[in-house]
Amino acid sequence: MTSVMVYSIVSEQLNYATTNLKESNPMKHIVYIMCLLFALQSHADELDSIIGSFAVESIDAVIVQVIAESGKPTVRYEGRYRAYKHNMRIDYNKPFSQIVIVKEGNLQWYYPDTKELWVMQNMNGPVTHPFAQFFAFRDRIVIKSKEDTYYGFFKRAYRYILMDTETGTKIELIIDKHKGYPIKKITYTKDNVEIMRELYEDYANINNIWFPTTVEVVARTHSGTTRNVTRYYNVHLNVKIAPDIFIMQMPKGVRVKHM
């Protein structure tokens, strides 16, 4: 088995899309584990250095996810995850067969056992690593403050407060001072309401790239909260990914539904 993390944009629009996806099809859990680092406009050189230490273009791995939602049973998912730039595919084998593909912002979620295909267009799709959308948001994000802090057992870190000038979203970001990787990210609405908390742990050095093999996300929803813990195994970075795997191959008789 292989496993890897999925990343996506954190914004009020994504939170809205996530909520509607769950309401339109309760069987689905959003599996995009967010880890997007936005650009620091006034500290571009510093963030460029951080991005340079996480130069990932493709990922092939296996994920094991445990998802708990308010008022619902805890569910464990297992499957293979592959991504290349802004394209992604997950082949789940547990608790049952599912295929998830995101290609150029369009989501396809297929259930082979029932021949059902759920589609969503123009969504904020996941990316291969925390810094992949740096340039897309460079002009929108400004740094409000930066200070020294600690995490864990007196490990030194930087604490940034970032602001998205377009949505008003505020991001609190903790980055290890010496290794430059993210430890924690908390996202707030423009009204200062926390909507998502992300923790990145158990870093492994893979091909001279620090990669978090455990990611925990706690997100606020209309029905309460969702806690998603994802662990990654057999991670391969910057390997060749065949482009045709991001094209869904389906038999005749598939029923198409829209989210």
State residue 136's pLDDT score: 54
- Can you say how many angstroms the Cα of residue 53 is from the centroid of all Cα atoms in its chain? 19
- The answer on pLDDT for 67 being more than 60 is yes
Rg (CA), the chain: 18
Closest listed residue to residue 130, CA positions, set 29, 245, 50: 50
| Residue 160 forms part of a structural domain | yes
Mean pLDDT of the chain: 77
The residue among 137, 106, 110 whose CA lies nearest residue 122 is: 106
pLDDT category of residue 120 using cuts at 50, 70 and 90: confident
Within 8 A by CB and 6+ apart from 99, the residues are: 89, 90, 91, 92, 108, 109, 110, 112, 248
Is residue 5 domain-resident? Answer: no
Contacts (Cβ under 8 Å, ≥6 apart) of 2 = 60, 61, 62, 63, 80, 81, 233, 234, 235, 236
Highest mean pLDDT among 85-89, 104-108, 111-115, 170-174: 111-115
1 within some domain: no
Can you tell me the distance from the alpha carbon of 217 to that of 199, in angstroms, rounded to the nearest whole number?
7
Stronger pLDDT, 42 or 254, i.e. the higher one: 254
**pLDDT given at position 29:** 39
Q: How many domains does the chain have?
A: 1
Higher pLDDT, 13 or 170: 170
In a domain, 2, yes or no: no
User: Percent of the chain beyond pLDDT 90?
Assistant: 41
pLDDT of 145 > 60? The answer is yes
In whole angstroms, how far apart are CA 237 and each of 64, 80, 222, 234?
Answer: 18, 14, 36, 10
Q: CATH no. for residue 186?
A: 2.50.20.10
Q: Is the pLDDT of residue 42 over 70?
A: no
pLDDT at 190 over 50: yes
Convert the pLDDT of each residue in 155-183 to its tens digit. Answer: 999 998 888 888 898 989 899 998 888 89
**Within a domain: residue 23?**
yes
CA dist., res. 8 & res. 24, Å (int): 20
Mean pLDDT of 71-80: 94
Structural domain boundaries enclosing 200: 12-241+249-254
Q: Is residue 36 part of a domain?
A: yes
Task: Please report whether residue 223 resides in a domain.
Answer: yes
Range in 16-30, 114-128, 225-239 the model is least confident about: 16-30
Q: Does residue 259 belong to any structural domain of this protein?
A: no
Q: Which of 15-24, 47-56, 114-123, 159-168 has the lowest mean pLDDT?
A: 15-24
Q: pTM of the predicted model, to two decimals?
A: 0.74
CA dihedral sign of residues 129, 135, 139, 144? positive
